[in-house]
Amino acid sequence: MVFLKALTLRDVPRVLSIAGTDPTGGAGIQADLKSIAALGGYGMAVVTSLVAQNTRGVRSVHTPPASFLTEQLDAVSDDVAIDAVKIGMLGDVATIAVVREWLHRARPPLLVLDPVMVATSGDRLLAADAETALRELVGMADLVTPNLPELAVLVDGPIAVDWPAALEQGRRLSMSCGTVVLVKGGHLSAEFSPDALVDATGQLDGADGGAVEFVSPRVATRNTHGTGCSLSSAVATAMARTGDWAGAVRQAKDWLQDALTSADELEVGQGNGPINHFHLLWTAAGSITR
């Protein structure tokens, strides 16, 4: 991580999402804002791409001019003190270049990168010629949160077919980029869904062999749209409140587990529906009874 600004913990951190949109509200900046709020942060959003998508797939993508992206980013950072940044869909080389240049100027104290390449529906969300530029951006992040197909692209290897192979790819990425990697095992077929914070550089306290593992029972639901967006935003928010990567991931995963468990109650869409971001709030308010 190249930034020098110290992280100041806040009860209500100001978290900026830089990502694409989802009109159905389950992924992209819409999911990010919900996740940030659910974890106790104040969410802000800069749009990289306007995506015409729903729970069944992506129909088209419109990318605004790079100059307008710069104006959005500057409008936020010229006025608001930013405690954490979460980056999601970037789309193309020009967008990555603008975000990279802004990061050097704004120097946020905390950066979580979700290297969005393919939607849950299988639709590609990153131009093929932008993969190299995205790999370079990984080295600027404090934490990168790839799923297994994205991890394979970042290390230029095959998709891991088991957990040991996934962990090894995570270590390779951490070593080559000098950043902490959250390896996510959701694409594996098993009764439990493992995740792990992997650090090959010695930055992570309490890591056993450079890794801290988290295991949750797999939730039987097809409503997983925007899971990666939501988890990365939740981790960024929790980290800006606690300053502890392992604790932040554990808090975010516990929240996500319940959000997946109650996802079917929403009945949104005919495909892969969204998770239930506000399950705790609605349960407390009596909107949902268990």
**Nearest-angstrom CA–CA distance, 268 and 26:** 9
Please state the pTM of the whole predicted model: 0.93
Tell me, yes or no, whether 157 lies in a domain: no
Sign of the torsion formed by the C-alpha atoms of 132, 47, 221 and 124? negative
Catalytic residue (one of 26, 91, 120, 229):
229
Q: Is residue 260 part of a domain?
A: no
CATH of the domain at 103: 3.40.1190.20
Q: What is the pLDDT of residue 290?
A: 55
95 assigned to active site: no
Could you confirm whether 253 is annotated as catalytic? no
Per-residue pLDDT at 286:
77
Q: Of all residues in the chain, what percent carry a pLDDT higher than 90?
A: 75
pLDDT for 209: 66
> Positive or negative, the Cα torsion across 110, 11, 196, 127?
negative
**Contact of 281 with 272, CB cutoff 8 Å:** no
**Structural domains counted in the chain:** 1
For 67, counting Cβ atoms within 10 Å of its Cβ (0-12 exposed, 13-18 middle, 19+ buried), the class is exposed
Report pLDDT for 4.
47
* Given the residues 184, 185, 210, 273, the one annotated as active site: 184
Phi, psi of 198 (to 5 degrees): -115, 130
Respond yes or no: is residue 91 known to be catalytic.
Answer: no
- Model confidence pLDDT, tens digit, residues 166-197: 999 999 999 999 999 999 988 787 777 899 99
Whether residue 211 is contained in a domain is answered as: no
Q: Out of 34, 226, 237, 273, pick the active-site residue.
A: 226
Choose the catalytic residue: 227, 237, 253, 273.
Answer: 227
Reply yes or no on whether 283 is catalytic.
no
Catalytic, 228? Answer: yes
Question: Do 253 and 260 touch, CB atoms closer than 8 A?
Answer: no
Q: Which residues of the chain, if any, have pLDDT below 70? A: 1-5, 118-124, 205-209, 288-290
SS3 content of the chain, % helix, strand, coil (to 5): 40, 20, 40
Determine which one of 21, 48, 224, 237 is catalytic: 224
Q: Which domain holds residue 30?
A: 12-141
Q: Please tell me which residue in 26, 28, 43, 228 is annotated as part of the active site.
A: 228
Task: Please report the pLDDT score of residue 121 as a whole number.
Answer: 62
Residue 269 catalytic? no
With respect to residue 171, please indicate whether it lies within any of the assigned structural domains: no
User: Does 69 reside within a domain?
Assistant: yes
Domain contains 32: yes
pLDDT of residue 12: 98
Decide the pairing of beta strands 14-19 and 42-47. parallel
Whether 233 maps to a domain, the answer reads no
Tell whether 105 is covered by a domain: yes
